[in-house]
């Protein structure tokens, strides 16, 4: 559930600037993508350690006699901690490059540690194949968001409302164990986060022009932009796992 949190303040809609390729824009976006890539590497390492290394796996996850996988108390704290980090930073009066970077790496580390559960639920081959598909989809959708002339603000607002709908529907699954509902949630999740990758990429492009070369603000935007795209990637990956993961259970 913690992965649904966007963690990035959305700028207001602005008129589309000249979309000619700009050296500063390319450097800004490259900084964002590099940070996303490093975050995914860190998450992969942490998830493997918590999911495959027995001492850490026993601390965070449990498997009951019926084969049901769940979190231990410590595991639940780590899984929901990103929400606390994001809320704390959201109430901060000033955002510095250092605090934004701390938020990014803290959330990435916590989510990575909690993702170890996927190794208990899905096959290693399925996880790897799903990651490759997600990476390919992410690259293509982000390219669409970067190059399109169409304003995606309206679509983005609709998709963000869809995220809240997914959260409410996911909560409902705790009370109504319906395979059909779970299937619909995962199917919608794939569509929603695929769209958000394109939207967030375009939003970052607009943010660069809005900030007008303010290096301090751009440093903050790099971390929060990377966090936004990282969360899109992770959520798309997790929803695709439902269809491609090769469940162990």
Better-scored residue on pLDDT, 179 or 204: 204
In the prediction, which pLDDT does 87 show?
A: 87
Query: 11: pLDDT confidence band, cut at 50, 70 and 90?
Result: very low
With H, G, I as helix, E, B as strand and everything else as coil, classify residue 72. Answer: coil
pTM: 0.88
Integer Cα distance of 154 and 46 in angstroms:
36
Integer Cα distance of 241 and 245 in angstroms:
4
Integer Cα distance of 99 and 126 in angstroms:
36
Share of the chain above pLDDT 90, in %: 71
> Phi then psi for 71, rounded to 5 degrees?
-95, 150
Distances (CA, A) of 242 to 117, 118, 176: 13, 10, 18
In the prediction, which pLDDT does 15 show?
A: 44
Within a 10 A sphere around the Cβ of 242, how many other Cβ atoms?
A: 18
Query: 17: pLDDT confidence band, cut at 50, 70 and 90?
Result: very low
Q: What are the structural domain ranges in the chain?
A: 19-244
Distances (CA, A) of 140 to 34, 77, 197, 245: 16, 35, 9, 21
Q: Is 150 left (phi over 0), alpha (psi -120 to 50) or beta?
A: beta
In the prediction, which pLDDT does 247 show?
A: 67
What would the pLDDT profile of 189-230 be if each residue is shown by its tens digit?
999 999 999 999 999 999 999 988 788 999 999 999 999 999
Would you say residue 2 has pLDDT above 50? no
With H, G, I as helix, E, B as strand and everything else as coil, classify residue 216. Answer: helix
Integer Cα distance of 214 and 99 in angstroms:
17
In the prediction, which pLDDT does 248 show?
A: 56
What would the pLDDT profile of 102-157 be if each residue is shown by its tens digit?
999 999 999 999 999 999 999 999 999 999 999 999 999 999 999 999 999 999 99
**Residue 225, CB half-sphere, CA atoms under 13 Å: how many?**
28
Q: Which helix (H) or strand (E) holds 52?
A: helix 23-52
- Give 177's DSSP letter: -
In the prediction, which pLDDT does 183 show?
A: 93
Would you say residue 90 has pLDDT above 80? no
Q: Is 148 left (phi over 0), alpha (psi -120 to 50) or beta?
A: beta
Helix axes 23-52, 97-114, angle to 10 degrees: 40
* CA pseudo-torsion sign 218, 114, 90, 188: positive
In the prediction, which pLDDT does 144 show?
A: 96
What are the beta bridge partners of residue 63? 69
Determine how β-strand 69-71 pairs with β-strand 61-63: antiparallel
- Give the residue-averaged pLDDT of 168-180: 84
In the prediction, which pLDDT does 48 show?
A: 96
Integer Cα distance of 63 and 73 in angstroms:
13
């Amino acid at each position: 559930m913690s992965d649904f949190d966007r963690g990035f303040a959305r700028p207001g809609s602005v008129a589309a600037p000249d979309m000619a390729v700009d050296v500063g824009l390319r450097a800004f976006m490259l900084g964002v993508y590099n940070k996303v890539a490093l975050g995914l590497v860190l998450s992969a390492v942490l998830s493997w350690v918590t999911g495959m290394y027995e001492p850490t796996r026993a601390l965070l996850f449990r498997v009951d006699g019926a084969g049901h996988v769940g979190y231990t108390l410590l595991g639940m704290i780590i899984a929901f901690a990103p929400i606390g980090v994001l809320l704390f930073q959201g109430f901060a009066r000033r955002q510095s490059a250092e605090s934004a970077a701390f938020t990014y790496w803290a959330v990435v580390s916590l989510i990575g540690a909690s993702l170890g559960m996927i190794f208990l639920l899905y096959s290693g081959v399925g996880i790897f194949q799903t990651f490759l598909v997600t990476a390919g989809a992410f690259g293509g959708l982000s390219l669409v968001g970067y190059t399109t002339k169409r304003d995606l603000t309206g679509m983005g607002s609709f998709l963000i409302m869809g995220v809240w709908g997914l959260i409410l529907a996911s909560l409902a699954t705790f009370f109504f164990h319906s395979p059909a509902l779970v299937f619909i949630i995962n199917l919608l999740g794939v569509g929603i986060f695929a769209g958000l990758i394109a939207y967030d990429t375009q939003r970052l492009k607009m943010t660069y022009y809005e900030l007008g070369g303010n290096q301090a603000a751009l440093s903050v935007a790099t971390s929060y932009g990377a966090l936004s795209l990282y969360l899109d990637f992770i959520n798309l990956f997790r929803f695709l796992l439902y269809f491609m993961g090769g469940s162990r259970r």
